Amino acid sequence: MGINSTGTAYNFGQLGSAITDSTSVALNAPKGGVIIAITSLADATAFAADATGLVSELQTGRLAAPEFINTVASANDTGDTTSTASTSGSSTTLTLGAANSDISVGMIIESMGDTDIPVSLTAPTTVAAYDGVTTVTMSAAHNVNSQTVGFFSSNNSTGRGGETVIADHTIPAGATIYGRWTSLLLSAGRVIAYFGK
């Protein structure tokens, strides 16, 4: 089984696996690899609710939340950056509450708590121009009542709504979660972690 042009195969255990029930020592992926799946061996496995609990491969160097389930930030939640914004009626001109240097042309724009700028996988609304201060020109007209708007880079998904993992979020025995993590630290339970590239 391998990676091909029609899909992705993770080759579970291609770099090995490890078992842990430690709540004091983090389990780290081997150099050049990541943890690609975690299977719970206990009735209520949970991760430490801090920066060491479940560390996404995308945690380092990102502007905001990683795409993968994580204890530091929410998965698929707020995009690379957010701003309070509005328009006057249906307009392609989006007015920001303050300048945001993380916004660039081509980013996908979506509403965070409403449907004023809808999610679209085939024709998303994007940043057509940004003056560097408070005016963003959108690729499509929308009536945005003052709200938080998310800006997603072209390599980010348009998904959102995930929660930050906390110690109360437990995984039952036999359940497997998938992602790409560099390390994990448990607050309870026991797991097998599978390593891959």
Looking at residue 2, its pLDDT comes to 46
Q: Does residue 12 contact residue 177 with C-beta atoms inside 8 Å?
A: no
At residue 174, the pLDDT reads 96
What's the alpha-carbon Rg for the chain, to the nearest Å?
20
Residues whose CB is less than 8 angstroms from the CB of residue 10 and which lie 6 or more positions away in sequence, other chains included: 36, 37, 178, 194, 196
Class for domain 81-152, per CATH? mainly beta
3-class DSSP assignment, residue 27: strand
What is the percent of the chain with per-residue pLDDT over 90, rounded to a whole number? 45
pTM: predicted TM-score of the whole model, two decimal places: 0.61
pLDDT digits (tens, 9 = 90+) for 31-57: 888 899 999 999 999 998 777 788 877
Question: Residue 73: pLDDT band by 50, 70, 90 thresholds?
Answer: low
Residues 91-120: tens digit of each pLDDT = 999 999 999 999 999 999 988 877 898 888
Tell me the domain boundaries of the chain: 17-74+162-196, 81-152
Q: Is the pLDDT of residue 193 over 50?
A: yes
In whole angstroms, what is the distance from residue 136 CA to residue 139 CA? 10
Q: Is the pLDDT of residue 23 over 90?
A: yes
Burial of 9 from C-beta contacts in 10 A (0-12 / 13-18 / 19+): exposed
CA distance 104 to 118: 19
